[in-house]
Chain A
Amino acid sequence: MVLLFGCSKSDQAAAAKVAGAKQGTLPPNSLLIGNGTEPQDIDPQIVTGVPEHRILMALFEGLVTENPKDLSPEPGVAEKWEISPDGLVYTFHFRADLKWSDGTPLTAQTFIRSYQRMLTPSLAAEYSYLLHFVKNAKEYNEGKLKDFSQVGFKAPDDRTLIVTLNSPTPFLIKIIASHYSWYPVPIHVIEKFGGMDRKGTAWTRPGNFVSNGPFKLKEWRQQQVLIGERNPNYWDRQTVKLDEIHFLAVENQDTEERMFRTGQLDMTNELPLAKTDVYRKENPEALRIDPYLGVYFYRLNNTKPPLNDKRVRKALALAIDRESLVKNVVRGGQQPAYGVTYPGTAGYTPEAKLTGTIEDAKRLLAEAGFPNGQGFPKLDLLYNTSQNHRVIAEAIQQMWRRNLNIDIGLRNEEWKVYLDSQDNKAYDIQRAGWIADYVDPHVFLEIWGSDNLNNDTGFANPRYDELLKQALRAKNDTERYGIYQQMDALLVDELPVIPIYFYTRVAAMSPKVKGFYPTLLDNHPFKYVSVTR
């Protein structure tokens, strides 16, 4: 067991030999990434998942890109941009000589046609709502408006794109920098394979696929590997350090971890919970625990007695010992959550925090008519079938029993059944998670609006809805964050959900990989990443 992680020279040599032989002609500057499930597709306007996102970040580049260390917006396709004083008009100035990987010029017009495709109703792009901040985009997307020229995109010349918004959306530039829904797509290729408005055509196959980012598609073997190679037509090709990136589709965490140990992977997508402590002890330099902009929480069915009583909700929230849970059960360096907004998101930290003792919890429960848990109905805690969620649920079940003398049943359901129960509010208490698409507190606060489709708690507060609207109209971040403080305070008071902890991303990564910084979204612009073998 001493050589478990292959620290000796001979072990590493053996591992390198195997990894090299595996791919035949693996260039020395290749990064091997465990990438979770097989990507659905690599059309930025079709896909929705994390594995796809990682691949698209290597293959495409948007108007604006991210700084590798703090994800702040950096020039991408646009070398500079201006925002009008009222915050409604964005003007992007493109670089000269932008090309797709096949050499075709990339112009502002291409962007407009890309966005037109994204918003075409028949394409049914699931992330199209991230373009709805643009004037008339929602109307066009919903088929209420047929004339795309009325949507707020204009290209006065090949190198200028003007975007007009409905209301000042101070975080729009972060969405553009971080999210693939704003990437351009190669219309000239898409038109060759079935047209603009058709889903799932052959344009994303190797040989057909064209992109504008640091890498282009070399090979894609389904359920195995997707390989990106240097794009010689990328404007910033001098910065790119890797020759190839291999995204290996490895679903199983244990399999992935074994592949990491034999050198078949330079980094894993995840690390099994049971392995975290082993790595801490025996191979700390390969253990990566990065902050991850997301919150793990329990959704409460606010429409169902006794959970419609905020005293009951608060009692449940206060009876959880988050410090102990994070330290003894979850064990991946997570932060206990006493509010739903991740502290320090884009410089915003909520002042309101869930505070109170177990005694307060008991008192609240008694006030709600359940002294010492007497007469409290049997409620169920629903989670999707997974070992990790089960242990957390069991720990919290224990805490509720011990602190409040109430009995909560555990119910697990297969993923899609569980989502269906959430959607139909067929639950009492449901474990849930929310991961940000871009770095802004708005991500955590918008979902508790009464008409938000991800709310699913029955929580509807007119004051909250009003504040949410005001925030979108705010002139600057100071004003906006002031409104968010009120919203966070309201959430901590009402507790439509019970925040539990803020995520971290736990993975194994070889110390030979450089330029892969901890970032809140787990976004890592690949042009800055290198590997030494």
Chain B
Amino acid sequence: MFRFITTRFLQSLFALFLVISATFFMVRFVPGGPFTAEKAVTPEILRNLEAHYGLDKPLYRQYLDYLGSLLHADLGPSFKYPNRTVNEIIADKVPVSAELGGISLGIALVIGISLGTLAAVKRNTWIDYVASSFGMIGISIPTFVVGPLLVLVFAIYLGWFNASGWYMPADRVLPAVVLGIAYAAPISRLTRGGMLEVLHQDFIRTARAKGASEFRVVTRHALRGGLLPVVSYLGPAVAGILTGSFVIETIFQIPGIGREFVNSAFNRDYTLVLGTVILYAVLIMGLNLVVDVVQAWLNPKVRLEA
């Protein structure tokens, strides 16, 4: 176990280095730069701007400087927001996205797993059809349709909530529900599939033969194996949900990291692009590692091998 984790950690570190390097150079080779603007700046001013941010140095030098500052956990200044550092922006925005993501994930898991399990147990009954339809509809209708629709009904017609914003606790409800439903749909489908597979296996028959109640069979015996596909899905999903959703954050005007992620690329805010990419990469790698460990715990057939 320890060896597995160490090896994976080193592998991840190497992968992270590759991601950083690729992003660093890719973002610089995109046409247009952080100071490309509709009103042209004079060459003198452009030179001064570049000098201020060290963009006047040769590219390899900038790259080494950046890696050097990364060793001090310094992600550099933002180009778009001159009085903020990337560290600050991430520290400021991640908690917001994480809060929204956490609530949504809770909603997604509760709805998704219960619907999926129910559908599997009551296979080919109307319950299954309803639950499966929910899954299909949830996957097919994008959040940018569901979001404004809920706002129209609950904010504009009924006046129960703000149309958007992140000011008071009630402001969490609509975006969390929209995001939660979006994730509940695939979770319910994966749960159903996983459960169906497990429910046909011998050990379930054994459990039933030993007289265990149906409830106990499902929750104690089947669920553990049935959730395996969900767990592997959750790794990247949690990383995605925690780093924010650009669409949800834009529709609901939420000051999360998801918007920064996308807008930084439009703004050619080199350091912020890198910062958000690093954040995402670290989360993905960390969570995938967690997924592997959890899968080994859930499924005795999986061995953690380096």
Give the B-binding residues of A (Cβ under 8 A): 3-4, 6, 11, 14-15, 17-19, 21-24, 38, 40-41, 43, 46, 48, 121-126, 128-129, 141-143, 199-202, 204-205, 221-224, 248-252, 254-255, 258-259, 261-262, 264, 414-417, 419-421, 423, 433, 453-454, 456
Residues facing A in B89-107 (CB within 8 A) are: 89, 92-93
State the CA gap A399–B34 with chains docked (Å): 37
Instruction: Decide if B32 touches A419 in the complex (CB within 8 Å).
Output: yes
Evaluate contact between A124 and B37: CB separation under 8 angstroms: no
Apart from A18-B161, A454-B39, 15 more pairs, CB < 8 Å: A4-B156, A18-B155, A22-B165, A124-B49, A126-B41, A199-B82, A201-B83, A221-B255, A222-B81, A251-B259, A259-B162, A416-B36, A417-B32, A420-B36, A433-B38
Secondary structure dominating the interface of B = loop
Contact A141 B32 (CB under 8 A): no
A14 — which chain B residues lie within 8 A by C-beta?
A: 159
* Distance in Å: Cβ of A365 to nearest Cβ of chain B: 31
Tell whether B148 is near chain A: CB-to-CB under 8 Å.
Answer: yes
* A44 → B minimal CB distance (Å): 13
A423 near B93: Cβ-Cβ < 8 Å: no
Q: Are A223 and B45 in contact (CB under 8 A)?
A: no
Check A255–B83 contact: CB distance below 8 A: no
Contact A259 B164 (CB under 8 A): yes
**A-contacting residues of B (Cβ < 8 Å)?**
30-33, 36-42, 44-45, 48-49, 51-52, 77, 80-84, 89, 92-93, 148, 151-152, 155-157, 159, 161-168, 171, 250-253, 255, 259-260, 266-268
A343 to B159, CA, bound (A): 45
How many Å from the CB of B194 to the closest CB on chain A?
Answer: 38
Chain B residue numbers with a CB within 8 Å of A199 are 52, 82
Q: Are A222 and B89 in contact (CB under 8 A)?
A: yes
A sample of 20 cross-chain residue pairs with beta-carbon separation below 8 angstroms, ordered by A number, consists of A19-B162, A23-B167, A38-B81, A124-B45, A124-B48, A126-B39, A128-B45, A141-B44, A221-B255, A222-B89, A223-B255, A223-B259, A224-B165, A258-B164, A262-B155, A264-B164, A416-B33, A417-B30, A417-B31, A423-B36
Known contacts A11-B159, A252-B250, A264-B165: does B48 contact A129 (CB below 8 Å)?
no
Cα-based distance from A24 to B92 in the complex (angstroms): 22
| With A11-B159, A261-B156 as contacts: A419 and B36 at CB distance below 8 Å | yes
Chain A min CB distance to B112 (Å) = 28
Contact status B52-A122, CB under 8 Å: yes
Bound Cα distance from A381 to B51, whole angstroms: 35
Q: Which residues of A contact B251 (CB under 8 A)?
A: 252, 254-255
Can you name the residue of chain B whose Cβ is closest to the Cβ of A6?
B156
With most chain A CB atoms within 10 A of its CB, the pick from B33, B39, B252 is B39
| Closest chain A CB from B43 CB (angstroms) | 8
- Pair A205/B148 contact, Cβ less than 8 Å: no
Given contacts A259-B164, A416-B266, contact A122 B83 (CB under 8 A): no
Residues of A within 8 Å of B253, CB to CB, are 224, 248-250, 252, 255, 259
CB closest chain-B residue, reference A453? B40
Residue numbers in A under 8 Å from B37 (CB-CB) = 48, 126, 419
Q: Which 6 A-B pairs have the closest CB atoms?
A: A416-B32, A14-B159, A200-B82, A124-B48, A453-B40, A223-B255
Shortest C-beta distance, B74 to chain A (Å), equals 15
Q: How far is the CA of A422 from the CA of B163 in the complex (A)?
A: 39
Nearest Cβ on chain A to B173's Cβ, whole angstroms: 13
Number of A-B contacts (CB under 8 A): 153
Contact B44 A143 (CB under 8 A): yes
Distance, CA A259 to CA B174, complexed state (A): 14
Complex: chain A residue closest to B259, CB-CB: A223
Neighbour of A22 across the interface among B148, B162, B266, CB < 8 A: B162
Instruction: Kindly list chain A residues whose C-beta atoms are within 8 Å of the C-beta of B33.
Output: 416
Give the distance in Å from the alpha carbon of A201 to the alpha carbon of B39 in the complex.
24
Q: Please determine whether A43 and B156 come into contact, CB atoms closer than 8 angstroms.
A: no
Please report the C-alpha to C-alpha distance between residue A143 and residue B42 in the assembled complex, in whole angstroms: 13
A43 CB contacts on chain B under 8 angstroms = 82-83
Q: How far is the CA of A423 from the CA of B32 in the complex (A)?
A: 9
Please measure, in the bound complex, the distance between the C-alpha atom of A122 and the C-alpha atom of B45, giving whole angstroms. Answer: 9
Given contacts A124-B52, A224-B166, A416-B31, contact A40 B81 (CB under 8 A): yes
Which of A6, A200, A250, A420 gathers most chain B CB within 10 Å? A200
Q: Contact between B159 and A41 (Cβ–Cβ < 8 Å)? A: no
Please tell me if the beta carbons of B45 and A126 are within 8 angstroms of each other in the complex.
yes
A259 and B45 form a contact (CB under 8 A): no
Q: A223-B259, A416-B32, A419-B37 are in contact. Are A259 and B82 (CB under 8 A)?
A: no
Q: How far is the CA of A121 from the CA of B50 in the complex (A)?
A: 12
The 8 Å CB contact of B81, one of A3, A41, A128, is A41
In Å, the complex CA distance between A129 and B45 comes to: 10
Residues on A with C-beta less than 8 A from B81 are 38, 40-41, 222
CA distance A99 to B67 in the complex (A): 46
CB distance from B210 to the nearest CB of A (A): 57
Chain B residues with CB below 8 A from A143, complex form: 44
The smallest beta-carbon distance between A424 and chain B, in angstroms, is: 9
Q: CB < 8 Å: which of A200, A248, A419 contacts B83?
A: A200
Docked pose: A220 CA to B273 CA in angstroms: 23
The docked-state distance in angstroms from the alpha carbon of A23 to that of B167 is: 7
Most buried by B among A41, A43, A221, A223: A223
Residues of the B chain whose Cβ atoms lie less than 8 Å from the Cβ of A421: 31
| Inter-chain contact A122/B163, CB cutoff 8 Å | no
A-chain residues with CB within 8 Å of residue B171 when the two chains form the complex: 22
Residues of B within 8 A of A252 (CB): 250-251, 253
Most A-side CB within 10 Å, residue of B82, B148, B255: B82
B residues in contact with A126, CB < 8 Å = 37, 39, 41, 45, 49
Most central of A23, A202, A416 by chain B CB within 10 Å: A416
**Complex: chain A residue closest to B96, CB-CB:** A223
Partner of A223, one of B51, B93, B162: B93
Within the complex, the shortest CB–CB distance from B169 to chain A, in Å, comes to 11
Chain B residues near A142 (CB, 8 Å)?
A: 44
Question: Once the chains bind, are A262 and B159 in contact (CB under 8 Å)?
Answer: yes
- A46 contact set on B, CB distance < 8 A: 82
Q: Given the complex, which residues of A lie within 8 Å of B163, measured CB to CB? A: 255, 258-259, 261-262, 264
Q: Which residues of B contact A124 (CB under 8 A)?
A: 45, 48-49, 51-52
Q: Is the CB of A204 within 8 A of B83?
A: yes
Q: In the complex, what residues of A have CB within 8 A of residue B267's CB? A: 416
List of A residues within 8 angstroms of B92 by Cβ:
222
- B157's nearest neighbour on chain A, judged by CB, is A3
- Distance of A117 Cα from B268 Cα, bound (Å): 27
| Cα–Cα, bound, A46→B35 (Å) | 12
- In whole angstroms, how far apart are the Cα atoms of A250 and B162 in the complex? 14
State A276–B181 Cα separation when bound (angstroms): 33
Using Cβ atoms and an 8 Å threshold, which residues of chain A touch B259? Answer: 223, 251
For residue B257, give the distance in angstroms from its CB to the closest CB of chain A. Answer: 10
Q: Please determine whether B48 and A41 come into contact, CB atoms closer than 8 angstroms.
A: no
